Amino acid sequence: MEKYFIKKVAILLCLFMGQVFLSQAQNQLDAGRTTATKIADLLNRFPAENASSLETAMKQMENLGASGITEMTLMQQPGVNNEKIEYALAGFAFYAGKDGREEQANMAVNAYIDALGKLNDPEAQNFVLKQIKWIAKDTNVEGIQPYLTNERLSGTASRVLANIGSSNAQAALMAALETASNDDQKANFIEALGDIGSVAATEMISPYVSSSNPSLKRVAIYALANIAEPSSAGLLFASAESAGFTFEPSNASAQYLSYIDNIGAKGNNKLALKLAKKLDKSTNITQHYHTKAGALELLVKFAPEKANKQIIKASQSDEYRYRGTALSYLSDDQLIQGLDDWKKALSKGSDDTVVAILQRMGSVKNNAIAQTILPYLGSTNDKIRQTAISSIVTSGDNLALTEILDLFAVVDDADKKQLVAALQTMKGDNVTSEIAKKIANASNENKIALLGLLASRAAEDQIDVVFAATSSNDPEVKTAALTALSSMATPDDLSKLISLLKSESDIDDLEKIQEAIIVANALKGNIASETQWAMDLLPQLALDKQMYLYKVMAKTGGESALKKLQDIYETGNTGQRQAVVSALNQSEDPAATGPLLHIARNASTDNLMDEALAGYVRLVPATEGADVQKVLMLRDALELAKSQENIQAILNKLGNYPTFQALLVAGKYQENPTYQQAAARAVMNIVQNNDAIFGDKVKTIVERTIEVISGQDSQYYKTSLKKFLDEMPTTAGFYSLFNEENLEGWKGVFSNPIKRAEMTERTFKREQEKANETMATGWIAEDGLLVFTGKGQNIAAEKDFGDFEMFVDWKITADGDAGIYLRGTPQVQIWDIARTNVGAEVGSGGLYNNKKHPSKPIKVADNPVGEWNTFHIVMQGEKVTVYLNGELVVDDVTLENFWDRELPIFPTGQIELQAHGTYVAYRDIYIRELVGAPKFELSEQEKKDGFEVLFDGTNLDKWTGNKIDYVVENGVLAIYPDKGGSGNLMTSEEYGDFEFRFEFKLTPGANNGLGIRAPLKGDAAYEGMELQILDDTAEIYSKLKPYQYHGSLYGTSAAKKGHLKPVGEWNYQEVIVKGDRIQVILNGTKTLDVNIADARKNGTLDKREHPGLSNKKGHIGFLGHGDNLFFKNIRIKTL
């Protein structure tokens, strides 16, 4: 239980230390706030976001004082979630326990102990006691002692006193043990006394070793072992003996070993050694292995001068575990100093003993030990000889290099494998040179092994020996030498490698030389130099040898090399083309996707195309760009792919990019039996990794996946997909605006929205018919694409749209120019970025016709002309966000009304595809309508009464201040205090007498305020006035002052409680301010009606100065306290 608690507290503390209090929270934590308010606001910040303000947070706890911390502690309630209080209390205990904070620690302990006596919930008391454990001192013993007799708290109180460890703490525990009748409580006291090491308690604890209660017996043995008084030796030995010197419930044997160790630790080595010898003699290896091994460790520890003798004796044991354990107790120094004794042990030991000792020797770096191992290289016992080989290298490095190399000529394959392993890791400057010397006169079999060794050690300085071996008449030796070159070659060897390339004719040999050239060239570390060397060399080689440089260039990568390879492909013969494709297929440069796709599109044979595509598809994941961009690349490949292998590979990769576009593509392939399973798994991966994908189209695709998916784990997949459908939002999702077959659903565009609205029905119909005829001349549906051929006018979807989210792919040709009109207004720009004469270098996606707001995209994200691009456009209210190929290019920018810049953008309108005289193609045009709250409008009565809208759900144009945390979202003003903003949101204008109407929705524990007649700076609650906005039902606010609850004029006058709707529902509130009278009407009930003149004259309820009571006018605003809540439909009438 204690371990569990420590783990829990550790988690709480880690979380707590990772938290910060937002700057807005400070508004109510000044000296003027009541303690209850400070506590409530403080607790409501948990958990926060980061660790940067831990010190500030703890200072706030400290400033509460002992009484405030006690008050917080007493807020714990049974049966409810006290997590926030626990965060605070545990965190402060940790904070106060740091060195140099004795004053804070004393304050915390006193506060916690004070609260202990007043708390009624045993679980809350237990939690508080646990915090005291870390900071309590001897002076606190008296306050903790009463809880020793509490059945629930006894264990925790005992551990607190054990942590204090003073004589007073011991006395309290002994007194409790003396009078206790409950065995569980006795066990708590005995364990705590044992933890303290209370010598005075030895006599009192000893009788419990014979207890019939197993738990009491076990803890008594533990305590006596920890106290380690000599007088307990007989009793503890008897307990271990009674336990058979093995492990059993009382743990007596292990505790007796601990007892002997503790005796020695207290300085009584003589007694410890005596007891260890007795235990060693009383146990045997067969029945008591663990205990006897423990006794040996103690003998070695307390008589180190006799360690070698003890361990040598143990190492002769036939019990391999005991032998190995004994050798592990031997220190390196003991082994070195007693080496003569160990030589004798080696000469007398069994084969298994010799192997074990040699292994131990091999772990010590020492030449004398290595010399001891050396003779065993000639042992006739395989295991001894092989152990000696590995041990002598780890012990003596290259001391036995000559002997080991000489063994090559005489040993079998098993030993040779051991020799190779030893030589691969052997340290020493002469190792590779000595290996190289042996090659010339070695047998062919050994030459191969030795060449492999040089390669494994990357022995660059011995490469001449390897070059010489490439001339061997033995094919296997020659192959080994050529293979070794790639591990050893450097740029200095390139001339020799090229000579080899020119002279060799065997394809396998040439490929090995090619690999060596690739490695050597790459070591130059300069792509330009590597590329230029290869390009300069090409003309010097015969055509059949040039092709071996293609892979060198592909591996080097870089623009020049890749361009050269593409040029060679364009002008070369069939063999060269095949070599270029093979080389590019092994390139690691993501830029190789360019030439590979070009080759695939222009390949003369299907085989070449498929091979190029295979390399292209392999490199797609390594390219830069968002998932959307990679999906575009894979779709390019799908358009070309003919082999089943490539199509399967593309579908497999599509599943790694959970985008709507990938889902559409994979969904289509579910209808092809050959690719059905790959497509189904791609669909599954996509939807399970993107919960923003939903709607009827998605449902149809996933339902088909459930029907067709089969194979291993398919039932699990079906269940998972059904769960996805069950949890999928029921709101409308994406649907297609283009059926891929004809222009159904589209219409021609004429004039502009303003002029069209002024037309008579007859004129409008006539113009629309003419526009539709024009559309048919310039726009066509072809191969699943919606194409503008270059002649005609804009076209539009037949339906008008308000707020929406849209996906569309587009492609243009050179000098292309197009765009997408939103709500009939130009435009999200599309153009060829090479048209620098018109400023196109800024990229596509910008709101081209904006004048006041940004018109240019944030970055250039266009794909090359002739390639597909993907727009993801979101329009809410007047704001537009655009992603181009997965890159954010327009971030929540207002789209201006091009047709009348004095007007805001139209609330609804056409989505138009612009005709600008150049070819443009579109595909996968999908839209999702965002149905939020409609734009708020005044009632007819409010209009007559002179009300003005301050927030209609679309913008914050009439507000100033914190527009980072206060955001417009679906017609609602939402507060997200973690966005990084600070301060309040206030009206731009000032108001004196007014009627203010609004709606608000609280989240659990939410706290805000409505500032009235307030300045833009300072604390609005005092420099102006604040009407509370608060979740009165939150437990953390249960002890506030009456004037702090919802609707109250803060610090001045209390509102009636009980008229808020449940948290999560919308409330309607009116505030009427006229002269000195302030009224609040909440959900139809007047909850506040106060004349502030009384407070100015007689003082406020909180006894604080409120200069804002004298203000005649000021701003109205929302005073954030770091909580999430919502407002809407805000209007005002000046009185």
What is the Cα gyration radius of the chain?
A: 42
**What residues are paired with 985 via a beta bridge?**
961, 1118
- Fill in the amino acid letter for 856: K
Q: Give me the phi and psi of 302, to 5 degrees please.
A: -95, -5
Question: Quick one: DSSP state of residue 915?
Answer: P
pLDDT of amino acid 47: 65
Tallying the residues shown for the chain, one arrives at 1135
Rounded CA gap, 227 and 203, in Å?
11
User: Using CB atoms within 10 A of its CB, is residue 568 exposed (0-12), middle (13-18) or buried (19+)?
Assistant: buried
pTM: 0.68
Please report which residue ranges of 523-573 form alpha helices under DSSP H: 527-537, 543-556, 559-571
Residues of the chain with pLDDT under 50: 1-31
Distance CA 882, CA 474 (A): 67
Specify the pLDDT at position 464: 97
Measured over the CA atoms of residue 491, residue 492, residue 496 and residue 499, the dihedral's sign is: positive
d(Cα 289, Cα 309) in Å, to the nearest integer?
Answer: 19
Cα 42 to chain centroid distance, Å, stands at: 28
Give the pLDDT confidence score for residue 46 in this predicted structure.
67
CA-closest candidate to residue 174, choices 133, 202, 132, 135: 202
C-alpha span between 477 and 480 (Å, rounded)? 5
Rounded CA separation 227/173 (Å)? 15
The one-character DSSP state at 866 is: T
Bond before 334 cis per omega within 30 degrees: no
Longest dimension (CA), the chain: 119
* Residues forming beta bridges with residue 541, ordered by sequence position: none
Predicted local confidence at residue 22, as pLDDT: 34
AA identity, residue 904:
P
- The H or E element spanning position 478 is helix 475-488
For 88, the token pair is 């605070």
1015 close to 1023: Cβ distance less than 8 angstroms: yes
Q: Give the number of other Cβ atoms within 10 Å of residue 814's Cβ.
A: 11
119 — phi, psi (to 5°)? -75, 145
Q: What DSSP character marks residue 898?
A: T
Q: Which residue pairs, CB below 8 angstroms and at least 24 apart, start in 133-136?
A: 133/159, 133/160, 133/163, 134/93, 134/94, 134/97, 134/163, 135/93, 135/96, 135/97, 135/105, 135/108, 135/109, 136/109, 136/160, 136/163, 136/164
Instruction: Report the C-alpha gap between 73 and 576 in whole angstroms.
Output: 82
- What is the structure's pLDDT at 53? 62
Question: HEC states along 2-48?
Answer: HHHHHHHHHHHHHHHHCCCCCHHHHHHCCCCCCHHHHHHHHHCCCCC
Helices (H), 137-288: 141-144, 154-164, 167-179, 183-196, 202-205, 214-227, 233-242, 252-265, 269-282
Query: What are 891-894's contacts with CB under 8 Å, separation 24+?
Result: 891/858, 893/847, 893/850, 893/853, 893/854, 894/850, 894/852, 894/853
- Residue 415's CB: how many other CB atoms inside 10 A? 17
pLDDT tens per residue across span 519-561: 999 999 999 999 999 999 999 999 999 999 999 999 999 999 9
Strands across the sheet with 746-748, in order?
746-748, 795-797, 912-913, 817-822, 825-831
- Chain-centroid distance of CA 876 in Å reads 31
| Cβ–Cβ under 8 Å, residues 62 and 56 | no
Q: What is the 3-state secondary structure (H, E, C) of 757-819?
A: HHCCHHHHHHHHHHHHHHHHHHEEEECCEEEECCCCCCEEECCCECCEEEEEEEEECCCCEEE
What domains lie within the chain, and their CATH numbers?
1-135 (no CATH), 736-929 (2.60.120.560), 940-1134 (2.60.120.560)
Phi and psi at 340, nearest 5°, equal -60, -40
Q: Which amino acid is at 1129?
A: N
Residue 850: closest CA among 827, 875, 817:
827
Please state the separation of Cα 1120 from the chain's center in Å: 30
Copy the structure tokens of residue 166.
């003073």
Q: Which residue from 597, 605, 675, 608 is spatially nearest to 632, judged by alpha carbons?
A: 597
Q: What is the pLDDT of residue 6?
A: 38
Q: 1071 - beta bridge partners?
A: 996, 1080
Report the half-sphere exposure of 887 (CA within 13 A, side-chain side): 19
CA distance 810 to 791: 18
- What does the DSSP assignment read for 405-455? HHHTTT--HHHHHHHHHHHHH---TTHHHHHHHHHTTS-HHHHHHHHHHHH
> What sign does the CA torsion over 27, 32, 38, 41 have?
negative
